[in-house]
Amino acid sequence: MVSTLVKTNIKDWLLETIKPEEFSEKNLKVAGILFEALVPQNKIAEVAREYFSQGYFLESITAVDFSECLEIVYHFNQWGPAKRSCIKILAPKNASGAPIATAPSITSIYKAADWFEREIFDMFGVVFQGHPHLKRILLPESSTIHPLLKSFKGEPKGSDVEQCLKLLKEDAETFEITYPQSIKQQNNHYYLNMGPQHPSTHGVLRLLLHLDGERVLDAEPVIGYSHRHHEKMMEIQNYLACWPNFGRLDYVGAMSYNFGYALLIEKAMGVVPPPRVEYIRVLTTELNRIASHLLWMGTFLLDLGGFTPFFYCFDDREKVLDILEAATGERLTYDYFRFGGVDHDIPQEMVPAIKKFIPAFKERLRDYDKLVTKNVIFEHRTKGLGLLSKENALAYGVTGPALRGSGIAMDLRRDEPYSIYPELDFNIPTRTDGDVYSRYVVRVKEMEESLKIIAQIIDKIPAGDFKSGKLPKNVPKGEYYSSVESTRGSFGIYLVSDGTLNPYRIRLRTPSFSNLNAIIDMLPGCLISDVIAVLGSTDIVLPEIDR
């Protein structure tokens, strides 16, 4: 019998071949990762190649600033049941100053690493050797600061603000586009800056399009216009005060981001919330998911020129928001969850309101199906467009409905179960085409599934406390990763705690960041009208990308 090439377990492979300097096994339930390993700098490319060949996607790259060296942290995860592993390399700080540190780039292996490495360069000043066009991504290109370094004082004082304004002004005056290498000026080709002020870029996104007539030859998203630096903001305040930040990352689907942070701190503190809390959380999150998808659907159809469905979607969304408002007191940027509980108990009239909403919304979904999904113009505008292959989805680390539209049933609610999701019966809708239409259908189906979840738990909410009593004062020292399925994909929070009142480092792995990155490979060959459709179908929220 000819032995086929059996892939060894990645852990064994690491231990045998790479021989990491440090290795420790962790618990997925507690720390959010299976194991972490510190490997030498020169081996990281080899490790990444092995991970890629075993079908792992790059969830995030980030860095942590310790006083004498920077630690660069890679999170790899797999489609299907979560098998997150954390690989670290050390980048010692340069004594002479510039560059602050250097590390090898893995952009040739993972396309997603491109933006992640640019972000680290931006925030920490780490120069990645071998990166094709290392430049700032979130901050303006003229800025000189690396804000996530601990030596950078968090709160800008008066002079710093002035300096910043001055830099921004200079940036605007001496603005010069540096095109990526792939874009070359040719005769009768031209460039179009779609955005940052454009009706259909869903916020302040600039798409740099290289066009031949109306056909896109190359596209590059330029982000960072609504950058507020949530990560630094959270470093300089205590754990409790971080709550509002999570309502303002993805303001459309804020509840799942609340969920992520609640899970993270509860994991770290070892707090188990009361059962009523779990039910309330799932209920509000799923309602919020419906609201978020409805907003997406409305604006997506608006992008395609269908004005009327936009209003129908917003009508439905208002109903959801009315229900959520009764519980949370807010309509958009929810700060509803608390450590071990929720801010406020749900009111009595919420249950009948939801029961009234479910059949009405099902009726509406049927109308959308007739009005939009089966419409011949809509089908022609969306089918076979903006293809996202499985290979690209893996290379870019695409998650969420965009990935499920490409035929991979990855949903952290099932793959890395949290809260009461394991007890619930729901499907993960997938489509195999990987085009705009399948992403649309997946989201519409997801609304139905959310409705199913709500219908299941609405009658079963147990009585009890909506807050757990005593909480530990501090988060224990250590590293934690929590991940939830947000409306747009898997949202991860990586926390490095030093045991003090403030988080030492919080890294937000936002799904839209990777999903938007993947658009680079979807756009070439499209027309301008398709650019809008493809961009709309990725369902991005800019504040979440820019953080």
The reply on whether position 226 binds other proteins by CB under 8 A is no
Q: Which among 116-124, 175-183, 274-282, 363-371 is the span making contact with other proteins, rule CB under 8 A?
A: 363-371
513 token code pair: 């960041």
Strands (E) across 152-197 are located at 190-194
- Reduced to 3 states (helix: H, G, I; strand: E, B; else coil), residue 104 is strand
The reply on whether position 338 binds other proteins by CB under 8 A is yes
Please identify, using beta-carbon distances, which residue of 333 and 389 lies nearer to other proteins: 333
Helix or strand run (H / E) with residue 77: strand 69-78
For strand 478-486 and strand 489-497, is the pairing parallel, antiparallel, or unpaired? antiparallel
465 token code pair: 């406390």
Peptide bond preceding 273: is omega within 30 degrees of 0, i.e. cis?
no
- Could you say which of 47, 255, 327, 410 contacts other proteins (CB under 8 A)? 327
Please identify, using beta-carbon distances, which residue of 326 and 455 lies nearer to other proteins: 326
DSSP 3-state helix, strand, coil percentages of the chain (rounded to 5)? 40, 15, 40
- Could you say which of 133, 311, 359, 432 contacts other proteins (CB under 8 A)? 311
- Minimum Å gap between C-beta 200 and other proteins is 4
Give me the amino acid identity at 298: G
- Minimum Å gap between C-beta 525 and other proteins is 12
In whole angstroms, give the CA distance from residue 417 to residue 415: 6
With contact defined as beta carbons under 8 Å apart, do 58 and 113 qualify? yes
Q: Which among 87-95, 124-132, 374-382, 479-487 is the span making contact with other proteins, rule CB under 8 A?
A: 374-382
The reply on whether position 528 binds other proteins by CB under 8 A is yes
Residues in the chain: 547
Contacts with other proteins by CB under 8 A: the residue count is: 60
Please identify, using beta-carbon distances, which residue of 208 and 403 lies nearer to other proteins: 208
With contact defined as beta carbons under 8 Å apart, do 511 and 490 qualify? yes
Q: Which among 81-89, 139-147, 365-373, 481-489 is the span making contact with other proteins, rule CB under 8 A?
A: 365-373
- Could you say which of 435, 530, 544, 546 contacts other proteins (CB under 8 A)? 530
The reply on whether position 124 binds other proteins by CB under 8 A is no
Number of helices (H) and strands (E) in the chain: give both, helices first. Answer: 19, 15
The reply on whether position 156 binds other proteins by CB under 8 A is no
- Could you say which of 46, 71, 343, 433 contacts other proteins (CB under 8 A)? 343
- Could you say which of 199, 352, 476, 525 contacts other proteins (CB under 8 A)? 199
The reply on whether position 245 binds other proteins by CB under 8 A is yes
- Minimum Å gap between C-beta 411 and other proteins is 29
In whole angstroms, give the CA distance from residue 505 to residue 507: 6
Checking phi first, is residue 525 left (phi over 0); if not, alpha (psi -120 to 50) or beta? left
Q: HSE-up of 155 (CA within 13 Å, CB side)?
A: 4
Please identify, using beta-carbon distances, which residue of 305 and 462 lies nearer to other proteins: 305
Please identify, using beta-carbon distances, which residue of 370 and 470 lies nearer to other proteins: 370
The reply on whether position 223 binds other proteins by CB under 8 A is no
**At 275, phi and psi to the nearest 5?**
-60, -35
The reply on whether position 315 binds other proteins by CB under 8 A is yes
In whole angstroms, give the CA distance from residue 307 to residue 256: 29
Q: Which residues bind other proteins (CB under 8 A)?
A: 190, 192, 198-200, 213-214, 237-238, 240-245, 247, 301-308, 310-312, 315, 318, 322, 325-330, 333, 335, 338, 343-344, 347, 349, 367, 370-372, 374-378, 380-381, 527-532
